[in-house]
Structures are given as structure tokens and as C-alpha cells.
Amino acid sequence: MDRTVRQALRGHWPEYLMEAAHLGLFMLSACVFVTLLYHPGSPVGPASSLASVLGDDMPRRFLMGIAMASTAVAIIYSPWGRRSGAHFNPAVTLTFWRLGKVAGWDAAFYIVAQFLGGVAGVVVARAWLGAPVAHPAVHYAVTVPGSAGPLVALGAEIAISFVLMLVVLTVSNSRAAALTGLCSGLLVATYITLEAPLSGMSMNPARTLASAVPARTWTALWVYFTGPLIGMLAAADVYLLLARGREAVCAKLYHHPGTCCIFRCGYAERPAASAAIVGPRASALVVGALWLLVLVAVATPAVVAQPAGGPDAEAGRVREVGAIGLTVSDMERSVAFYRDLLGFEKTSDAEVAGPAYEQLTGLIGLRARVVCMRLGADRIELTEFLAPRGRAAPADSRSNDVWFQHIAIITNDIEQGYLWLRRHEVRQVSAGPQRLPDWNPKAGGIKAFYFRDPDGHPLEILEFPPDKGAARWHRPSDRIFLGIDHTAIVVADTESSLRFYRDVLGLRVAGESENWGPEQERLNDVGGARLRITTLRAASGPGVELLEYLTPRTGRSGPTDPAVNDLVHWHTTVVPGDAGATATRLRVARAPFVSPGVVMLPDRALGFAAGFLARDPDGHALRVTALEGAR
């Protein structure tokens, strides 16, 4: 019969504490190695000089796999591991309980200890390593499903858990029982290297929860509580079927003959000589794994504390949205359009060329004329590429194509603005000004109209009702057009774009709405249009509005080889505290770069001395400029 609670605690509390310590040490090791391999301040991190040697994520996962496998092997063969059995996984404990090798209260206290120990290990890592372990590139070593989604992650967790437990049961109940820990470590290394992109490679609900609690990341937590348990319990049934009724001998991953065992152990009925003993090669591997763990544990705090390579988290966040840039084919025509029809004033006119500008734009042999214009406090930047010339915009561009971007120009009288534009025969997109209906409280009363500039770039004039929009748009003015409220971009998936603009760049969400109906269809000239709209803002400058067309999903993707001299090109200028820090954040997020990195310019012809071009998940260009004197 099972022991009572009091008997279990009195007799086996040391083993319970050992189990807590095992997963705590495992999580501490995970945080240390993820910080070492993925933190941008590390000398082997993605922003280091070794980044080109390590290449894509596979070599890093391989190193991470070796590190965590070594940690697991060291724990399994350690004195404490030999005594407690080194489960450090509720799914393992429940599987041995299912096989009748662990008493009920021992299983319960093991599981409680594992969950508490895992969380404690991550908390210790946070206290020891400091801010680097909370960096977005490390994020407490959380496990979340990959891009294929939670169902694929669930299937992967079931599969790898099944194979691991089947190997453990098969080897631990054979003449090679002493090699069970090494086989487990080999599988851990293989899984992290090959399977991690699918599920993050957990196999352990306590391990996942340990990272999730401080990270406050609960994404698909059910996957990691059900997948490992399903896989391991299924493996136990398959083992019993294959073993033809022969039960498992012991619940330990490595049963040492000189160590006491609290389980329902079959070794007690065998001669002492029959218990497997770790040979000299295995002992050497354990000593080597322990040495590696100690070496990294000692070195990591000093590595991540180095200020030179690790940008301050706040320094990389965007403080201002600056000029919105667009490529034009005829500068004089475009300047006249924006000046005479919309009231913009020219503030600078420069011609640029040379290696630095070629690096900035990704164009060899570049020569361009750049004109900056201002409307109120807001700016646009027109660029005509004298060489090389780019491609024309598709004649059938639609408002739901993913390359779509526009600027929203605020007017204090949209009817007068529309009549003015009609008088100058602009190309209309909307049939006329549209007033969004009052049933939509977040957009009701807004009046808007879409049209195009001489190169086909979409533009919007917009009038806010008294209860919406910034205060500056409601001040008295003798001008019809007042300034730029935001630039809007079409995105394929709002959540992916939020991870880029909000989580990586630090813009805040300022508003959300879902718009549909005949007014929206006429405004965008897209039948059946239903949009999810999310507005983000920095401390100053225009907003960035994400437009996700929920219907119709017929918008075309952008070109596979976009170039800044193409006439569909727009770029949004953002100004962080440290452009280099932002470059690091974007590289960690695997954003595509147009420039090789932060480019130092030979002059301030564009109003800034250093910057770079990158792209968001949908290919929209982002120009990041240094803070000093950026315009």
C-alpha cells in the first residue's frame, strides 16, 4: 500500500529536494547558455564578430543541444541524481508511476518539487545574470510553438517524448543500463538541434512553466502539459507490449548499486554484481560535462556584463517617427504637386552619390536627388533616382496589395479639400469623401478620401470629428491641409507586425478598430473590405497604422526583389536613442536588412550622419537614423 503523506515526507524529503534542485540547475543552465549564445552582448551572440561563422540558427541550436545534453548527463550521473533517479520531469515521474515503480505520494511530491524547483532556477538566473536573461533574444529561455503553429508543436512534443521514454525504458532494462543517461543526453542534443524550430523542444511541463512564469508568456501552454504526457505514457504501453509482460526494473535513469533507492526497485531482488556500473569512458564524460558547466557558469556573468557589445534595451527603442519617404520619377512634377495642391513647403534639396549612399540604399552606381518638404510639423522626403532608374508601379495596384502604403493628410474641411483636388484633376481611388458610420464608435464620424499623386502613390485626406484625433488637428487654421497624422501600411498578419513594431522597435499601440461596410468599401475601392486597423505611435511624429484586410484576402504580396528606386517604394524614418542598438534588435529578430549595417555618411545632406535601411515582415522599408540632428 502507498505510504501516508507524513510517512512519505519524513522518509523521502531529501529525494524531493534533490528533484527540485535538479530541475532548478537544469533551468539555470538553460538560461546561462541561451544568454551566452543568443544575447547580442555575448562575444558569440548574433551581433558578434563570430555571427558570420555560426551563420544561421542551426549551429547555435547544435551548441545549445550539446550544452543542455551535457547538463542533463551530469545531473543523471551525479550523487544526487543517482539517489533521486534524476527524473526532473513530471511526465517521466507519472510514467514510472503508471508502470507501478513509484508510490503515489512520492510521485505527487516529486511533481510539486519539480515545478517549484524549475521556477526557482529561473528566478535565480534572473537574480544572477540580471537584465540580459530578460532581453527579447533570451526571454527566460521560453518554449513556444514555431511558425507552423501549436498543432504541429503538439505532434512534435508527442513524438520526441515518445521516443525518449521508449529509449529510456529499453536501455535501462537491458545489460547497457549504465548508458541510459548518455542515450538520453544524445537525444536531448539531437532534439534541440533539429526539432526546436517546431515546438521549442520542451518534453517537460515543469520546464516550460518555469520560463513562462517570469516571462509572462503563456502561448499554447496546453501543448507542453499534454504532449509530453501523451508521448511518454504511450511509450510505456509500447514497452510493455514489446517486453511481453516483463516489467521495468527501477524508476531510476541510472541505478547505482551503492545508492539507496526509494522506489519499488527490482534490483533489490538481484545479486549486487548484476547492477550496472558506469565504466571509465562514461565517468570521463561526466567529469567533462561538469567541467564545461562550471566553466560557462563562471564566465557568463562577466560576458553579458560587457557594455561594449550589449546595447541598452531602451536605447534601441524608437523615440520619434520622422520623414515619410517615397520614390518619384520626375522631381519637378512631384514638388509642384505637393506644393501647389497640398501646401507642402520645400525645406532642402540635395544630390547624393558615392559608396556610403550605395551601402545605405543597396544600389550600386547610385545618384539621386532628394527633396525634403514640410506640412505643418510633419515631413515627407521625395527621392528621384537619376541612376539607376527603377521599375514603374503596377498599373493595377489595389488598396489591399501588401506593398500598399500611404500618408494620411489632415484637413479641417474635407469637402473643400475634395473640391480643390477635383479642380486639379487628381486620380481618384475613392468615389468621393466617405463618412464612416456612427455604429463604429472607434471610427464613427471620420471623413476620408483616397487619391493618387502623379506617380500613382496613394494618398489620403482625412477630417476628424471633434471627439477624435489629436488636439492639434482641432486648432483654428486658415489652411485647408494641416499635417500628416500617420502613414498606413497593409500587413498580412497584425500579430507578426506587432511583434516587429511594438516588441522590437518599442512603438506603443495607440488605437485599434475593425472597419467594414459600404463606406469602407468605397473609401478603399475594395469590394467586401473588412479591415483590422491598429495604430502605433512613438513619443513624437506621425503614427504607423497597420491595415490587415480580413476580407478579401486577395491582396498581392510585394515583389521578391524590392529596390528603393522602384516607384512603389516608401520608407518610414524612425529615430531611436541608438541606431546601433536598434540594428542589433532587428538582427536578433531576423529582420531583412537593405544596408549592411549602420552606415556612416560623409555629409549631412539628408539631415543625419548615420543610419541604415531594413524591412518589416511584409517588406515595407524602414529607415533608422541616428538621433543627433535627424530630420
Task: Dump the DSSP string for 83-113.
Answer: HH----SHHHHHHHHHTT-S-HHHHHHHHHH
Distance in angstroms (rounded) separating the CA atoms of residues 328 and 454: 9
More confident residue, 261 or 268: 261
* Percentage above 90 pLDDT, the chain: 57
Residue-level pLDDT at 102: 87
Residue type, 119: V
Cα Rg, the chain, nearest whole Å: 31
pTM: 0.57
Output 393 or 588, whichever has higher pLDDT. 393
CATH number of 5-304: 1.20.1080.10
Q: Is the pLDDT of residue 190 over 70?
A: yes
Give the strand pairing for 447-452 and 458-463. Answer: antiparallel
Domain ranges in the chain with CATH number 3.10.180.10: 318-625
- The per-residue pLDDT for range 534-579, each reduced to its tens digit, is 999 999 999 999 999 999 988 898 777 889 999 999 999 999 988 8
DSSP alpha helix (H) spans, 78-220: 79-84, 90-98, 104-129, 150-172, 180-194, 196-199, 205-215
**23 and 114 in contact (C-beta within 8 Å)?**
yes
Are 606 and 558 in contact, with CB atoms under 8 Å apart?
A: no
DSSP string, 600-615: E-SS-TTS-SEEEEEE
Angle between helix 90-98 and helix 104-129 axes, rounded to 10 deg:
170
Task: Say yes or no to pLDDT of 90 above 70.
Answer: yes
Query: What's the grid cell of residue 242?
Result: 514489446
Tell me which residue of 137, 172, 144, 174 sits closest to 44, measured CA to CA.
137
Burial class (CB in 10 A: 0-12, 13-18, 19+), 245: exposed
The CATH number for 318-625, chosen from 3.40.50.300, 1.10.1740.10, 3.10.180.10, 1.10.3720.10, is 3.10.180.10
Q: Residue type for 132, please?
A: P
- Contacting residues for 586 by C-beta, under 8 A, at least 6 apart: 504, 593, 614, 624
Q: For residues 393 and 427, is the Cβ–Cβ distance under 8 A?
A: no
- How is 268-296 classified by DSSP, letter by letter? GGS-GGGS----HHHHHHHHHHHHHHHHH
Question: Where in the chain is CATH 1.20.1080.10?
Answer: 5-304
Reply yes or no on whether the pLDDT at 589 is more than 60.
yes
b/e map 269-296, b = 16+ CB within 10 Å: eeeeeebbebeeebeebbeebbeebeeb
By mean pLDDT, which of 163-177, 261-275, 452-466 is the weakest? 261-275
Q: Given a cut of 60, is residue 309 above it in pLDDT?
A: no
Give one word for 180, left, alpha or beta, with left for phi > 0 and alpha for psi -120 to 50. Answer: alpha
How far is it, in rounded angstroms, from Cα 500 to Cα 493?
A: 11
Question: Residue 300: which pLDDT band, with cuts at 50, 70 and 90?
Answer: very low
Angle between helices 90-98 and 150-172 (to 10 degrees): 50
Q: pLDDT, tens digit, for every residue of 14-65?
A: 888 988 899 999 999 999 999 888 876 777 776 555 655 665 577 888 999 9
Listed range (56-60, 168-172, 351-355, 526-530) with the worst mean pLDDT: 56-60
Residue whose C-alpha is closest to residue 168's, from 79, 262, 257, 72: 72
